[in-house]
Amino acid sequence: MNLTQFSIRNPLVVAALAIALALFGIYSYLTLGVAVVPSISAPVVLVTTTEPGANPDTIETQITKPIEDAISTLRDISTLTSTSSQGVSTVTVAFTTAANADLVGIDVERVVNGARSKLPAA
């Protein structure tokens, strides 16, 4: 007796096996762990300053560059990018996973406050 004849003669057994297999698959999918791609969050800090009416060149030389120089002294920096536009300077600092996510904001604030003397008066 081959598989086709058994399936035709016993449809309830085949249906029960199919349902059991589907339920086992759903259970396995729901309990599957995510060990292949662990949850990693690299800390990112964004420093935005404004100088109304200043052109992008002035923003870059008087604000963005001193802030970049101060921030670049920190450890565990992955990327440091900046954008200078009309009246706005934005410096983005991404840290490596070795950096303490709870302290990087405080460290960036400390070095930016230290560079305030190099920035134009508000």
Mean pLDDT of 15-35: 90
Neighbours of 71 (CB within 10 A): 21
Alpha helices in 1-122 (DSSP H): 3-9, 11-30, 56-59, 65-71, 104-114
Express each pLDDT in 67-107 by its tens digit: 999 999 999 899 999 999 999 999 999 999 888 888 999 99
Per-residue model confidence (pLDDT) at position 122: 64
Task: Go through the domains of the chain in sequence order and give each one's CATH number.
Answer: 1-38 (no CATH), 44-118 (3.30.70.1430)
Neighbours of 55 (CB within 10 A): 12
Per-residue model confidence (pLDDT) at position 62: 92
